[in-house]
Structure 1
C-alpha cells in the first residue's frame, strides 16, 4: 500500500524546491499520489474496524483506527476451557481445543433407518423439483453470490476482502469457482434450532423423546442436551414439573430469558422483560468514541445502528412508552455529546429532530410511533397474506369466524394484544373497495368513495 510518511516527506521537499522556481508539476503529482494513498489507508482501517454503517463522508481514519483496536482487544481469545474443564492458554492449545470440538461435533454417526421417518412424511416435492434441489451448484450461482457481498466485509482466510475478488474476478474467477464448487457440491448443511410444544404430561414428553431418537437414528444429528431447555406454563403443578424435569434432565427456562432474540415470556412486568433493548443500546453507545465523529457521522451511526436495534422486537411487541423515552434519552445525550451525568445544552428538542429535513429536522425516529408502524404491518399481513403460516395459526387461535378487524381481545398473549392495540392505525387509513358487498358492515366500515372518512353518516 505504501508508506504515507515517506510520501509526505517527499511532498515537503518538492514544495520547498518549487518555492525556488523548480518543478511545480512534481508537487501536483505527489499531492495526487498522497491523496490516493490516504484513501486506500482509510478504506483498510474502515474494513478492519467493521464500521459498515458509515458509507460516505467523515474522512476520519483516527476513528476507524480506534474502533479496530477496540475490536481486537474485545475479540482476542487469550484462553479457553476444554471439555474436561482444563483451562488452556497459548495460540496452539487454544487452536487445538477448537479443532477437537468441531471435529467431534461434525463426525458422522453413520445414520440408518431413513424409511422409519420418511414413511410418515407426505410427498410434496415432485421429481422435477427434486432434480433441481439435489443438482450441483453452478458457476453462475457462485459469481452472483460474490457480487451480492459487501465489498469491505470481513476478509477470508487468505486475508482478502470481497472487493479483491470482485475486482480481479476475470483473472482468478475460474480457480476460485473450482474451489468453492468442490466444497459446496461435496458438503452437508446442518439444521437450525427447533421449538417444540406439548401438554405438560409425562406421556407426551416421552412421545417427543421417541420422535427425537428416531430423528437422530435416521439423520445422524444428535440433540445437544447442553443447549436444550424447556419452559412450563403458569398453570402446571409442581409435582408434574418435577416428574418431567427428572425425565428430560435438561434445565428449565425462567422468566425473561430470550429465544431467537426475543423474550420467551412477557409477564406483567413488561418493562423488565424488554429492558434488554435499552441495555443493548447503552452498550453500543458506550463502545463508540463520539469525540472522533463529526455530527454527520453521529447522525448516520444513530440511524443505521442504534435506532435499528429495537426494530425486531417492535415488530412483535408494543414497547412501554417509558422504555422508548429512555432509549431516546440515551440517543439525545450521545447526539449532543453529553458524557456520563454531566449536563449539556440540547439546542433543539427531540420532536424537532424527528421532523423531516425539509421541515428543519433530522428525521430521527419517534420510537413509539415507529413501534405502531411495525405492528401495523403485522395487521396488514393478517388481513392480506392468507397463505402464510403466521396467518393460519393466528386465525385459528384468535379470529376463526371473521377477520382481524373484528377480533375480540381476551386474556391472550402480549404479542396478540400488541397487534390489536395498533389495529386502529390500519382502520383509520383503510377503505373498502366494494365488490359484492357481503363482507362490508354498512354503518361501521369505511366504504364510501371520496376524500372523506368513508363512513355513512346518519342525519
Structure 2
C-alpha cells in the first residue's frame, strides 16, 4: 500500500519484489488507507453494533441494564474504532439512532416511536440532567488527549514521528496534514495550560 503522492510505485515494487498493490487493508478489523474511506468501509462496525443491540441477552435487560450495556459494551466497540480511524458523521448519526431506540424501547428498528429526550441530553453528566454516558465526541477528545500525552511522555515510534514531523499540536496544522492530526490540534486548543510530568 503506497501513499497517494508516491510516484515511483513500479520501481519500488521491482526492488522489493512486491507483486500486489492495494488501496486499503484491514488490520485488526479496522480498515486502513492513505485515501479517504467510504461509508461502506464502516459497515462492519454498524453491523456489529446492530447484532449486539439486537441480541437476545440485550433484549432481556431492564432500563438500568441497557444503560450499562451501552456504557461498557457498545461504547467500548466504538472506542476501539476511534483509536484506528476518524469516524464520519454518518456513523455518529446511526450510532445515536440505534442507541436511543435500544435504551428507550429495547428495539433498534422502532422508527415510529417518539423519543422524549434527545441523545445529546442523555450524554450530559448526571449533575446536568443527563445519564452520564460519554458521547462519541467525548471519546474522540479523550483519545486525542491520550495521544498528546504519549507524544511527550512516551518513546514509541509514533510519538517520535509525530514530534519530528509536526513539532507541536499547539501550532496551526498544515493544510496537507492528515485528518487525525487536525483533530488532535483542535483538541489541544482546549488544553493550553497542560503540564506533563
Normalised by the shorter chain, which TM-score bucket? 0.7 to 0.9
Match of 2:193 in 1: 431
Quick check: 1:263 aligned with 2:25?
A: no
Match of 2:184 in 1: 422
Quick check: 1:361 aligned with 2:123?
A: no
TM-superposed deviation, 1:301: 0.9
Q: Deviations over 1:318-349 (max 9, x none)?
A: 32222112111111111122353552232321
Are the equivalent residues in 1 in contact too, given 2:101–2:108 (CA < 8 A)? yes
Q: Whole-Å Cα distance in 2 between the matches of residues 429 and 238 of structure 1? A: 41
Q: Deviations over 1:179-201 (max 9, x none)?
A: xxxxxxxxxxxxxxxxxxxxxxx
Quick check: 1:347 aligned with 2:102?
A: no
Q: Deviations over 1:7-35 (max 9, x none)?
A: xxxxxxxxxxxxxxxxxxxxxxxxxxxxx
Q: Whole-Å Cα distance in 2 between the matches of residues 425 and 239 of structure 1? A: 39
Paired residue for 2:82, among 314, 318, 324? 314
Gapped runs of 5+ residues in structure 2? none
**Cα distance, 1:354–1:253 mapped onto 2, change above 3 Å:** farther
Q: Whole-Å Cα distance in 2 between the matches of residues 343 and 253 of structure 1? A: 47
- SS state of the match for residue 419, structure 1? helix
Quick check: 1:377 aligned with 2:146?
A: yes
**Larger-Rg structure:** 1
Tell me how large the CA RMSD over aligned residues is: 3.1
Are the equivalent residues in 2 in contact too, given 1:290–1:298 (CA < 8 A)? yes
Q: Whole-Å Cα distance in 1 between the matches of residues 53 and 130 of structure 2? A: 22
TM-superposed deviation, 1:378: 1.0
Paired residue for 1:304, among 51, 72, 97? 72
Q: Whole-Å Cα distance in 2 between the matches of residues 323 and 333 of structure 1? A: 15
Match of 1:41 in 2: none
Match of 1:277 in 2: 45
**Cα distance, 1:388–1:242 mapped onto 2, change above 3 Å:** closer
| Structure of higher RCO (CA pairs closer than 8 Å, 6+ residues apart) | 2
Paired residue for 1:329, among 97, 107, 116? 97
TM-superposed deviation, 1:275: 4.0
Q: Whole-Å Cα distance in 2 between the matches of residues 261 and 347 of structure 1? A: 36
- SS state of the match for residue 278, structure 1? helix
TM-superposed deviation, 1:258: 1.1
Are the equivalent residues in 1 in contact too, given 2:169–2:184 (CA < 8 A)? no
**Cα distance, 1:243–1:286 mapped onto 2, change above 3 Å:** farther
TM-score (norm 2): 0.78
TM-superposed deviation, 1:357: 2.4
Match of 1:411 in 2: 176
- SS state of the match for residue 145, structure 2? helix
**Cα distance, 1:239–1:391 mapped onto 2, change above 3 Å:** closer
**Cα distance, 1:339–1:289 mapped onto 2, change above 3 Å:** farther
Match of 1:85 in 2: none
Are the equivalent residues in 2 in contact too, given 1:256–1:264 (CA < 8 A)? yes
- SS state of the match for residue 264, structure 1? strand
Q: Whole-Å Cα distance in 1 between the matches of residues 115 and 68 of structure 2? A: 19
Q: Whole-Å Cα distance in 2 between the matches of residues 432 and 373 of structure 1? A: 14
TM-score (norm 1): 0.37
Q: Whole-Å Cα distance in 2 between the matches of residues 372 and 408 of structure 1? A: 17
Match of 1:286 in 2: 54
Q: Whole-Å Cα distance in 2 between the matches of residues 269 and 244 of structure 1? A: 29
